[in-house]
Structure formats: structure tokens, C-alpha cells
Amino acid sequence: MKKRCQSCGMPLKNDNQIALEKDSSKSEYCLMCYENGRFLQPDMSLQEMKKFCISILNKNMKIPKFFAYLMVSDIHKLKRWKK
């Protein structure tokens, strides 16, 4: 499987989509979720992330909500949400 943001699941196709750590090394997260070693929305819950992603997929990419829901159904398996 290709690299995915370990917070929202967005495919990371090229380096300009990858956020950096404080030491300027590449992180495992996208620019929409992470910046300079920190989450942009550190208090966001898993359910809030799913709703956010569904909204983006539906409104910006015109993906029907049912299919958007299926696309985010495995977000809980990503590094940020594993506990």
C-alpha cells in the first residue's frame, strides 16, 4: 500500500503533501493534519476526524456520503488513533 497520512488517511503521493517534524525531517502526516512536529487540531477526536474527512470528500471531491463513509471506515487503524 502507498503511504497515507497516519491521521486522516489521505494518500501522500509526493513530498509537498508531507508535513515536517520540528527537526525538518519528514513526518508520517499530511500538511492538513500536522505542522512543525504538532497536530494542527490536537484535541480532535476520532469521530470528529471521520466527520471532517467525509465532509471534505463529499463537498470538495463530490464523492457521495455513503462512499465517503466507506473510505474513512478504517481511520481507527492509523497510527494517531491506535492506543
Closest among 49, 64, 38, 55 to 9, alpha carbons compared: 49
In a 3-state reduction of DSSP, which class is residue 83? coil
Q: How confident is the model at residue 83 (pLDDT cuts 50, 70, 90)?
A: confident
Percent of the chain, pLDDT > 90?
Answer: 93
What is the spatial distance between Cα 45 and Cα 75, in angstroms, rounded to a whole number?
11
Cell numbers 508531507: residue:
18
- How do residues 42-75 score in pLDDT, each as one tens digit? 999 999 999 999 999 999 999 999 999 999 999 9
- Mean pLDDT computed over 23-49: 96
Domain ranges within the chain, ordered by starting residue: 15-81
Q: Is the pTM of this model over 0.85?
A: yes
Q: For 1-83, where are the alpha helices, taking DSSP H only?
A: 46-59, 65-72
Closest CA to 45 of 20, 22, 5, 75: 75
Residue 32 has a pLDDT of 94
